[in-house]
Amino acid sequence: MTPRTPSGHFHNCVGPAVPFSKGNNTPNTPANPKSGFVVKELCFSYTQKTLFERLTVSIGRGEFCSVVGPNGAGKSTFIKLLARLLEPHAGRILFEEQLLSSYPRRELAQRIAYVPQESYFALDFTVLETVLQGRHPYLKPLERYHSSDFALARQAIDRLGISHLADKGINNISSGERQLAVIARSLVQQPSVIVLDEPLNHLDLSHQQQVLFLLGELHSEGMSVVLVAHDLNQAALVSQRMLVFAEGQLVEDGKPDDLLTPDLVQRYWGIRPIEGRHPESNKRQIFLPLK
Amino acid sequence: MRAKLGWVVLLVLLAGLSLLALAFGPAGLTLDSDILASRVPRLLLTVFAGGILALVGAALQGLLQNPLVDPYIIGSSSGAGVGVALSLLLGWTSVIGRPIFAFAGAVGALFLVYTMARMRGKVSRLSLILAGVAVSFVASSLVMVLMVLSREQLAQIIYFLMGSTKVVFTPTKLWVFAGSAVVSLGAAGWLVARWRSLDILSTNIEAAESLGVDTQRLTTEVFVLSALLIGVVVAFAGAISFIGLVVPHIVRFMFGPRHLRVLPGSFLAGAVLLLASDLCLRGFSMATGVDLPLSVVTALFGVPVFLYIMRRRLA
C-alpha cells in the first residue's frame, strides 16, 4: 500500500528526496509568495503585552526562513499564528491563497507541521507509537493505523537516527532524543510547511548538526521551513531569509548574510559581537567578545 | 502477547463471574427461573455500572491528563446525590422517580460545571477540574442539609451515596434501564472512537492541535458524555467509588497507554471488579444478614491492587 497523501502537496519527507509533484517550485528557486503565507495587517496582543500591530509579511512556498530576535520579541507567537495555534485579533493570514482560519484543523495538519520548543508526554507511549500519531490527520476516527503508516513512521525514525529507540518509552529517553521523536512525528504528517520553535534547544552538538542537515534536505525537497532560532550563526548558515523581531515588531527582513552585522546585533540585543566568516561556507558569522 | 492474554483473562473472568452471579445468592445456588428474573437485571446493572464507571474514568484521566482523576471529580455524581436526597425529602420515591431525580441532579451539575469552566468561549482542562471540585463541594453541602432535614431517610441517602446494584426492578423500571443502557453504550462507543485524539492529548495542547485534534471540541464531547454516563450510572446504582479511579491504572498496566485498548479494556475490567465486589457482598449478606454498600468492597478490593501496581511501576 502506498502512503495516502493530500492532493496537491505531496511530500515524501520521511524517505529519500522526492521532487515536488505539483507547482513550479524547484529546490532553492525564488519562492512564490502567493502560494505560501501572506500576513496582512496582523494585530495580536496578550493581556498585558501588545506584540504585533499591523504586521505585514509574506513567506513564499519553498522558502527557508529563520525567525530571530531577543527574548520576548514575539518569535514563538509569530510562528504559532502561522500554525493557527493562536488566532489574530485583527488582520488576516492567508495560506495557499486561502484564509488560514478557513482550513479544517485536520486538513491544516496535513499541510503545516509544528514542532514545539519542548514536549511533555503524560502517558508513556513508545517512540514508534508517538511518531505514528503524526498520521492522525489522515485517518478517520475509528480507523486503525495501516501498514503504510507504520512504514512511514519507521522511515521517519530511521531518518532521525533513532531506530534503536523505537520501542523505548517516550519518557524513558533523554529530552534531546524526545525532540528528535517529535520532529519525526512532524515528518510523518507529510506537510508542505514545517515550523519549528527553537528545536535545537535540548540537542547535543551532533544532534544539532543532524537536525540542521535534515532541515536543509527537507528544504531542498521543496518543503517550506520556518525556524525560530536563538543561535544567529546557525540561523544564518541554514536559512535563505532572516526575519528579525524586536519588541513585537518585525524590524528587519532580508538575506542572513546582509543582516548579520555587529550593528544589527548591538541595536536589538544590546551587545556588540565580533564579525567573522564561516571557514567552509564563507557565510557571515558573529562571535561573542570576552571583554 | 501480554495484551492478548489480558483480553482472554478479562473475558474468562467476566463469563465466569456472570455465571456465578446468576447461580449464587441469598436464595442459594440455583438457576430457578423466578430467582433468575431478579438476578439477571442485577447482573446487567452491575456489568453496566462497573464498565461505564471504569471507561469514563479512563477517558477523563486521558482528557484531563491527571492520573488521580475520578469520574466523580466532574461533579455529576454529587449533583445526582442532591437529586436523590431531594426526592426523598419530597416523598417522590417511586421506582423510577428516584433515578429521574438523580439524573436531573447530574445534568444540573454538568450544566453548572460547564458554565463555570467556560471563559472567553473556551473550556480549559484545569478549569473543568476546578469547577467540578467546587460544584462537588457545594452539592455535598446541599446533601448534608437535605439529610438533616429528612432525618427518617438518612440511612437511605447514605446507602445510596455509597452505591448498590441490589435494586428492585419493576417492568417499567427495567425498560427505562434497558433504554438508558443502550443509549449509554452508544455514548461509550463514541468515547472509544476518540481513542487516537485522547492518545495525542497526552502531549502539549499546541502539539495536539497541530496534529489535527480539535481540543476544544474533544474536551466538550468527552466532558458532556462522561457527565451524562455517570448520571445514568448513579441514577440506577448510586455513587460507587474507586472503580473509575483504579481500573484504568490496572488496565494500562496490562495493555499499555493506548486508549484503543485502555477504554474497552477498562469497561471489561470495571465490570469484572464490580461483579466480584457484588458477589462478595452477597456472600457477606448471606453470612451475616447485613447488606453493605458496594463502595465498601470496591475500596477494599481496589486499593491493594492499586498499591501493588503503583509500587511495581515505580520500582
pLDDT digits (tens, 9 = 90+) for B142-163: 988 888 887 777 777 777 778 8
Q: Under an 8 A CB cutoff, do B211 and A112 touch?
A: no
Q: Under an 8 A CB cutoff, do A116 and B214 touch?
A: no
- Domain extent, residue B209, equals 2-314
Q: What is the predicted pLDDT for the residue at A166?
A: 96
> What distance lies between CA A80 and its chain's CA centroid?
10
Is the pLDDT at A6 greater than 50, yes or no? no
Pick the more confident residue, A134 or B104: A134
pLDDT digits over B105-148, tens only? 888 888 898 888 887 777 787 888 899 899 989 998 998 888 88
CA-to-CA separations, B275 to A56, B21, B160, B254, B270, in angstroms, rounded: 64, 7, 18, 19, 8
Pick the more confident residue, A157 or B3: A157
Determine contact, residues A225/A215, Cβ cutoff 8 Å. yes
Number of neighbouring beta carbons within 10 Å of residue A98? 9
Pick the more confident residue, A122 or B274: B274
Q: Is A268 on the interface with B (CB under 8 A)?
A: no
Torsion A97-A98-A99-A100 (CA) sign:
negative
Q: Which residues pair with A246 in a beta bridge?
A: A249
Stretch B217-228: mean pLDDT: 88
Q: Under an 8 A CB cutoff, do B214 and A108 touch?
A: no
Q: What is the predicted pLDDT for the residue at A18?
A: 34
Q: Is A190 on the interface with B (CB under 8 A)?
A: no
Q: What is the predicted pLDDT for the residue at B313?
A: 65
Q: How many Å apart are CA B138 and CA A141, to the nearest integer?
A: 37
- Computed on alpha carbons and rounded to an integer, the radius of gyration of chain A in Å comes to 19
Q: What is the predicted pLDDT for the residue at B315?
A: 64
Pick the more confident residue, A248 or A196: A196
Task: List the single range of A69-78, B21-30, B131-140, B262-271 with lowest mean pLDDT.
Answer: B21-30
Is the pLDDT at A135 greater than 80, yes or no? yes
Three-state SS at B202:
coil
Q: Is this model's pTM higher than 0.90 or not? A: no
The CATH number linked to B188 is 1.10.3470.10
Q: What is the predicted pLDDT for the residue at A25?
A: 34
What cell numbers appear for B17 in the block? 463471574
Q: How many Å apart are CA A222 and CA A216, to the nearest integer?
A: 10
Q: How many Å apart are CA A182 and CA A178, to the nearest integer?
A: 6
Residue B115 burial class via C-beta count within 10 angstroms: exposed 0-12, middle 13-18, buried 19 and up? exposed
DSSP B166: -
DSSP B120: T
Q: Is A62 on the interface with B (CB under 8 A)?
A: no
Q: How many Å apart are CA B133 and CA B131, to the nearest integer?
A: 5
Instruction: Tell me how many residue pairs between chain A and chain B have CB atoms under 8 A apart.
Output: 74
What cell numbers appear for B157 in the block? 441517602
DSSP B151: G
Q: Under an 8 A CB cutoff, do B203 and A121 touch?
A: yes
Q: What residue in B sits closest to A129 (Cα-Cα)?
A: B258
Give B184's pLDDT tier (boundaries 50, 70, 90): very high
Q: Under an 8 A CB cutoff, do B211 and A123 touch?
A: no
Is the pLDDT at A229 greater than 60, yes or no? yes
Q: Which residues of A touch B214 (CB under 8 A)?
A: 105
Q: Select from A149, A171, A137 the least CA-distant residue to B200.
A: A137
Give A190's pLDDT tier (boundaries 50, 70, 90): very high
Q: Which residues of A touch B194 (CB under 8 A)?
A: 141
Q: Under an 8 A CB cutoff, do A105 and B257 touch?
A: no
Q: What is the predicted pLDDT for the residue at A287?
A: 92
Q: What is the predicted pLDDT for the residue at B44?
A: 93
Question: Who contacts A18 (Cβ-Cβ below 8 Å, separation ≥6)?
Answer: A10, A11, A12, A221
Q: How many Å apart are CA B268 and CA B192, to the nearest integer?
A: 13
Number of domain units in chain B: 1
Strand pairing category for A224-228 and A112-115: unpaired
Q: How many Å apart are CA A255 and CA B152, to the nearest integer?
A: 83
Stretch B295-306: mean pLDDT: 80
Distance from CA of A129 to the nearest CA of B (A): 9
Q: What is the largest CA-CA distance in chain B?
A: 60
Q: Could you identify the residue written with the cell 465498601?
A: B296
Q: Which residues of A touch B210 (CB under 8 A)?
A: 83, 85, 109, 112-114
Q: What residue in B sits closest to A118 (Cα-Cα)?
A: B204
How high does pLDDT run on average in chain B? 85
